[in-house]
Structures are given as structure tokens and as C-alpha cells.
Chains A and B, each alone.
Chain A
Amino acid sequence: QSALTQPRSVSGSPGQSVTISCTGTSSDVGGYNYVSWYQQHPGKAPKVMIYDVSKRPSGVPDRFSGSKSGNTASLTISGLQAEDEADYYCCSYAGSHWVFGGGTKLTVL
């Protein structure tokens, strides 16, 4: 039950696009299309932004998109806005249990 691998930090300027990667194994990310992404602002509870690799829950802007190739999932945020600055976590099903990534701090310059 090892954590998924995410970059510690990414950054971008307003209006730009950034992509956050999430690397696992064939036992989690690569084995199931059950990857979700969560946004967490300081001191707040997380909020789901993407589920089932690429689906957006109601209310999430279409600037947020998800994809997967092999054992790596990705979250892309286009048209960066100041309010996107937060920590982002991927999460994958791993057969009877779930595993999170270590988290990525997104800084909007």
C-alpha cells in the first residue's frame, strides 16, 4: 500500500496551463479506471475535482481535466486562476483499498 508519486510542487502564471502527474503501478492506477483528484485549500477539507480518471462532478469548472496513460494519471488545469492555488491529491483504487498520492502544491505566480 505505497503512496502514489506526485511532484512536490508545480507553478504557473494566471491564464497558463499546468499538469500534475500521479504515478502508481499496475496494481492501482494502471489496473483500474478509478482515479480521482482532490483540491485542498489551507485549513479546509478536500474537494473532489475529477473522478473515474476524467469525469468532472457537477459544479467543477471545465478548466479541470483528467487523463491516464499506463500507470500514470494526470490532472490538467487550464486558464489558471488565483483561486486554483492549493494542494492537489490523486487517489486510486488498489483492490479492496484506496491509496493517495503525496500531494502537489500548486502556486499561481
Chain B
Amino acid sequence: EVQLVESGGGLVQPGGSLRVSCAASGFTFSNYWMGWVRQAPGKGLEWVANIKPDGSDKYYVDSVKGRFTISRDNAENSLYLQVNSLRAEDTAVYFCVRWQGNMMVTWGQGIVATVSS
């Protein structure tokens, strides 16, 4: 069964950092583009970042450039999102996604990150 399981969320103070992880199983992780999508409370979906199968190329939404870093460990079948300089507006459910062609075909259950003092 194809599965994505996020972990590492929590409550962080403004200006703080967090590392969100995603454990992948049921497919050959190293063959796929992966990414992160977030959803603020009561709001819509926002694409955050994508990473190429070999990790050589990374893309970000403008609002997180310089603060968030997407990375992957193909040996561990894991995807990561390092989030720094957190702001209140970064409070959201963060979904790990697997891309197939031009669609996000697999989604994790999501992990909550709350930025508050």
C-alpha cells in the first residue's frame, strides 16, 4: 500500500524553527518528485515546495523562499521540510505529497504546525 506519514509538527514560537518529516512506503521513493502543500485553519490549499527525484532541483512558493528548505533522503525513503523564522501565517496543516506526472497522486494525512507565543 502506498503511504505517506508525516511527523514533527507542534507548537513553535514566532521566529522559531521546526523540521517536518514524511516517511514514504509502498513505492520506489527515489523515482518520484515529492512536495509539500499546506492549509491554514479554515483556508484553502497552498503549494509550498517541490523536489526532484534525485534532490538536485528544488522549487518554492515566494512566501517561504529563504526560510523553508525541502530535502530528501532516498536511502531512508524520507522527505523533509526545514522551516525557519516562523511567522503566525505559517500556522497550517502540512501535507506531504507524491507527484505522478502533473498531479499530486498521493497525500499524507497531514501534520499540524502552530506558530504562537
Question: A97–B59 contact, CB under 8 A?
Answer: yes
Which chain A residue has the least Cβ–Cβ distance from B108? A45
Instruction: Give Cα A51 to B102, complex, Å.
Output: 7
Task: Flag A24-61 by CB within 8 Å of B: 1 or 0 each.
Answer: 00000000001010101000011110011000010000
Indicate whether B26 reaches chain A with its CB closer than 8 angstroms.
Answer: no
Task: Flag B27-51 by CB within 8 Å of A: 1 or 0 each.
Answer: 0000000000100000011110010
Interface size on B, residues (CB 8 A): 21
Indicate whether B109 reaches chain A with its CB closer than 8 angstroms.
Answer: yes
Q: Cβ of B50: which chain A residues have Cβ within 8 Å of it?
A: 98
Task: Flag A68-109 by CB within 8 Å of B: 1 or 0 each.
Answer: 000000000000000000010101010011111111000000
Most central of A48, A87, A93 by chain B CB within 10 Å: A48
Which chain B residue has the least Cβ–Cβ distance from A4? B44
Instruction: Give Cα A51 to B103, complex, Å.
Output: 6
Question: B104–A36 contact, CB under 8 A?
Answer: yes
Task: Flag B51-66 by CB within 8 Å of A: 1 or 0 each.
Answer: 0000000011111000
Question: A102–B47 contact, CB under 8 A?
Answer: no
Question: B45–A52 contact, CB under 8 A?
Answer: no
Indicate whether A18 reaches chain B with its CB closer than 8 angstroms.
Answer: no
Instruction: Give Cα A103 to B46, complex, Å.
Output: 11
Most central of A38, A47, A97, A103 by chain B CB within 10 Å: A97
Q: Cβ of B60: which chain A residues have Cβ within 8 Å of it?
A: 97
Nearest 8 Cβ contacts at the A-B interface: A51-B103, A45-B107, A103-B44, A98-B47, A34-B102, A100-B45, A36-B103, A48-B103
Cβ contacts A to B, 27 pairs, < 8 Å: A1-B63, A3-B44, A34-B102, A38-B45, A45-B107, A45-B109, A46-B45, A46-B104, A46-B107, A48-B104, A48-B105, A51-B102, A51-B103, A52-B103, A57-B105, A89-B45, A91-B47, A96-B59, A97-B47, A97-B59, A98-B47, A98-B50, A100-B45, A101-B44, A102-B44, A103-B44, A103-B45
Residues of A within 8 A of B (CB): 1, 3, 34, 36, 38, 40, 45-48, 51-52, 57, 87, 89, 91, 93, 96-103
